[in-house]
Structure 1
Amino acid sequence: MKSVSVYAITRNQNLKSLQKAEQHLSGREYPLKIREWELASMRELIKQLEVHMQEVYVLSFFYSFQIPRLGKEFDLIQIKENQILNIELKSGTVSDEAIRKQLIQNRYYLSVLGRPIRSYTYISSQNRLVRLTNHDHIVNAGWDELCADLQNDSRDYEGDIEELFQAEWYLISPLEEPDRFLRKEYFLTSQQRDIERQILRKMKAKEGQYFWFSGLPGTGKTLLLYDIAMKLSRRRSVCIIHCGESGKKWKILHERLRRIDFLSDTQIEEKTDLRSYYAILVDEAHLLSTEKLKLLTETNAVCPIIFSSDYEDMIAEEELGESIGKTLERLPAIQTFRLTNRIRTNAELSSFIQNMMHLPGKSNHRSYPNVEIVYANNRKEAENLLLGYSSRGYLSKEEAPEVKIAAVRDVERLAVLLDERYYYDGNGYLRSARYYGHGMSDVRLLFHTLNQAKEELALVVMENEKLYSSLLELI
């Protein structure tokens, strides 16, 4: 998306024509639905600027830009070599505190560019201009001050703004980056905030005991769960139960968060008393055994329980077996939510893995430049191909992990061997000739292994021409 002349798009014209013109000028993939109130506020802004400066028509802004996959939107951004200027538009009365929070959040997202940031809000109904100070206060601003900032001598950035922002920079892991989490150096996406609001509201109104949100790896489930725990623990003690993690990961959090207790799923026993907690939160719940879930729900059926798990619906039911997801679905009046915005992981790989697990019913027109599929006629050729990928920086996995699904951890480049046991059934689901029972099929293990790939994925297919042909058709 390119910057546009706001002077040009605020000229009086038919709204439908304006939306077409804006799409052409900005290079958006889809036309922007321009809101009447925002357009009116922008026109008032331009009128005021024309009173206080010359050549307003040369100003170039990125208008209504949204960081991909985050849902974070900015009204107007001017990006120069040595400065970033953000103007938010309001039509009606807004509290200074609401303005302050928005500008602080905007500054956080813009700070990744490593340049000084000037933050303003214009309230057109009051003809009021305010700015955010370096000490995070809202003060009235003068038009001469804004005009001086807008006429900064450095060059405008003329490239695609989407190339400057990567959504995964903003998704932190409370376990891997506890200090950043404790300093609250993060913001939730609009989808995360919506799910959180619904769960907290329903808990306060006592409208349910069980809540479950799921999503693919990289959608920010753990961060959302921890943020909910932080809010709940302001007044009452809560307990976070980790599945498949060692206690070392949360040692810092355990020491610093006095009203949040941490337990491993292995510590849940019949004698474990969790009834004193205001809420129990379960991370990586897809790794929880049905026996441990039964202990949680039957022996401690007092406080609300919030589950967070990976989404596995693209795996054949026969491969899932009696998975924890099916057991969770049967909990009385459980309220479910789905995170769909994948932040941390390449969206292309996410699409490929989902389609690989269940072949699309119609022709797939998406390309997968970061996926490689090669064929080996025997074990020796497969080993050589995997060694080749290792030399290119790929983490090589010859088979799915041992009969245990591990919590997903990002791997920049991943190479995986697929042998003769894999095949597609008549409904297009990936299946395996081997099954461990208890939901631990090769396919389920493979799915969680593949989801560790962050940027590039290589599949080495050995002695399985049918599978190889199907995967080539997919890409």
Structure 2
Amino acid sequence: MRSINLNSYVDAFKTLNQEQFKRYLDYFGIQVKKQESADICVFVNEMLGKGVFSNQLSNFFVSYSIPQISKEFDLLRFGDNYTLNIEIKHSSSEERIAKQLTQNNYYLKTLDTPVVIYAYVVQTHNVFTLDENEHLKKTTLEELVAAINDQQHKKIDNISALFKPSVYLVSPLNSTEKFMAGSYFLNGNQSEVRTDIIKMFAENSVPFIAIEGKPGTGKTLLTYDIAKYYIDLGWNVCLFHCGYLAEGHEILRDKHSWNISPIKDIYHVLEQPITYDLIIVDETQRIYTEQLETIIKYVTDNKMKCIFSYDPEQVISFSESKRNTVGKIEQLTHKKYKLSEKIRTNKEIASFITNLFNKNKSNPNIEYKNIHLQYFDCSNSLRHYLEQLNEDGWEVINYTTSSFYKLTYDQYQVGTRNAHLVIGQEFDKVAAVINQHFYYDDLGFLWARSEPGAPPYRLDKMLYQILTRARQEIAIVVYKNKPMLEACLKILGK
């Protein structure tokens, strides 16, 4: 996307025909509706009438959206002394303006430059800003003019390089206190689903809700946000996690009094003399059939509400793959929502994982700057390297091993995290080993052989679970597997 001079924007809108104007905006990567362009013209003309010169209207980005977040800014400009954001509203309530300016300020202040933010209402010519306590206050056109004139603005060639989507993503399990403090925002897709679920429950339309989402779509954040909403309303919410409880779960339970339990405790929990309003099951794809049937019967008998949150691909064992969990949920009187926008995993990581598990889905247009590759043929050297990664702040996630037999990958695994213990969590930098058991079939799909004594967990599914925990960077360490090294090099364009 390119920045534009707002005076030029106005002249083009006034003098070019519709097709020419569209092509002109396409050059800058700007997509706006006709009314929005008309509103920008009203604003710019008012600024020109107040003494702002054309050269002071340069370097503005119009209708910029942060990649993967769906957060859009009407007018945005960067400067050495502060970042300037101006929202143009045709008409709006003060409540909606306050909400938008607060959200914008949240996203912009991560750039480590002071933020100056305004809203201009076209119909009334009113101007609003945030005070030092981030409360909305009405201000003057003269103050807005001064903000434009006083900014030491600069040209930015790649605006998206300034924003890392993962910086704005709060995990209920890894950033638990920020989550509980409400220091996060849902993206457009999440907000729409949340609003609709609350409406469905208020109308008592269906007892069961299903939320399906692939890694990086914000499924966990949305699920826990909904739980938090109803807990704050005073509902008695029971949340089951289909796996081991992480530290974040324990904080929610012990410090914030959430009723949250591992699914293995289901029978003990449901036997308690407590009347629940809502049961939420997270990572439902891993639930046992009898556990699922118990919850369905309990919800039906007690005329409660229930939310199942899951990703059908995030299974680890052969038995989990064979269960028809999603099919059983589909047969219920329910409403299903499918999250589609990836917000945690950046496009580079998502593309690499897709290509790794399916050789037919290569993307030669992506430069993999955040995928790192190493090869080892000695287990001792590999273990020392993984220990170094651990010391350098990487999450080295192991394959879940056997409690009874010594396996080949026990020789080099470090730390305590394994594929089962990180379910539902996310980390900035993740390291994983692709060992000698991995191979591609004739159709180009990635598989892994099981070794004698290994538990009934699929290595390929555990690798998928491990890699999809990453938000920013992945380190692939290939061990004793030259074909896999070749495949990784090919993906990376080497």
* Superposition TM-score tier, normalisation by shorter sequence: 0.7 to 0.9
1:183 alignment counterpart: 181
| Residue 125 of structure 1, CA deviation | 2.7
What is the match of residue 441 of structure 1?
458
2:381 to 384, 387, 397: 384
Instruction: Tell me, in whole angstroms, the C-alpha distance in 2 between the residues paired with 1:437 and 1:194.
Output: 44
1:104-161: CA deviation from partner (whole Å, max 9, x where unpaired): 1111111212343333222223333333333455444322111111111534353432
1:406 equivalent to 2:421? Answer yes
- Residue 17 of structure 1 corresponds to which residue in structure 2? 20
Map of 2:207 onto structure 1 = 209
SS at match of 1:440: coil
The match for 2:469 among 446, 452, 457 is: 452
Query: What CA distance in whole angstroms lies between the structure 2 residues aligned with 1:75 and 1:364?
Result: 33
- Give how far 1:45 is off: 0.6
Alpha-carbon distance in structure 2 between the residues aligned to 1:459 and 1:115: 35
Q: How is 1:111-260 mapped onto 2 (pairs within 5 angstroms)? A: 111-152=109-150, 154-156=152-154, 158-233=156-231, 234-246=233-245, 249-254=248-253, 257=256, 260=258
The aligned residue for residue 357 of structure 1 is 357
1:108 aligned to which of 106, 109, 114: 106
Q: Deviations over 1:277-305 (max 9, x none)?
A: 21111223344333332322223433222
Tell me the distance in 2 between the aligned counterparts of 1:58 and 1:118: 16
For the residues of structure 2 that align with 1:357 and 1:80, how far apart are their CA atoms?
43
Q: Counterpart of 2:356 in structure 1: which amino acid?
A: M
Which ranges of structure 2 fall in alignment gaps of 5 or more residues? 403-418
| Contact 1:122 1:128 survives alignment (8 Å) | yes
Residue 158 of structure 1 aligns with an amino acid whose one-letter code is: I
1:281 aligned to 2:258?
A: no
TM-score by length of 2: 0.82
For 2:406, the equivalent position in structure 1 comes to none
- State which drifts further: 428-437 or 164-173: 428-437
Hey, what does 2:407 align to over in structure 1? none
- Aligned to 1:241, the other structure's residue is in SS state strand
Aligned residue pairs: how many?
464
Deviations 1:76-127 (CA, angstroms, capped at 9, x unpaired): 1232222232211122x32111111111111111121234333322222333
Q: In structure 2, what residue type is equivalent to 1:359?
A: K
Superposed displacement of residue 458, structure 1: 3.8
Task: Answer with 95-104 or 356-365: which moved more.
Answer: 356-365
- Give the whole-Å Cα distance in 1 for the aligned partners of 2:180 and 2:363: 47
**Identity, % of aligned pairs?**
26
**Whole-angstrom distance in 1 between the partners of 2:68 and 2:219:** 15
In 1, Cα distance between the equivalents of 2:364 and 2:329?
31
CA distance in 2, matches of 1:398, 1:245: 15
AA of the residue aligned to 1:347: K
Q: Is the 8 A contact 1:270 1:299 kept in 2?
A: no
| Pairwise CA distance, 1:251 | 4.5
| SS of match in other structure, 1:126 | coil
Deviation at 1:34, TM superposition (A): 2.4
CA distance in 1, matches of 2:74, 2:338: 28
Task: In structure 2, give the amino acid aligned to 1:69.
Answer: Q
Match of 1:305 in 2: 306
TM-score, with structure 1 as normaliser: 0.85
Change (3 A) 1:133 1:413: closer
Contact 1:386–1:415 (Cα < 8 Å) also in 2: no
Moved more, 188-197 or 280-289: 280-289
SS of residue matched to 2:150: coil
The Cα of 1:33 is off from its aligned counterpart by: 2.7
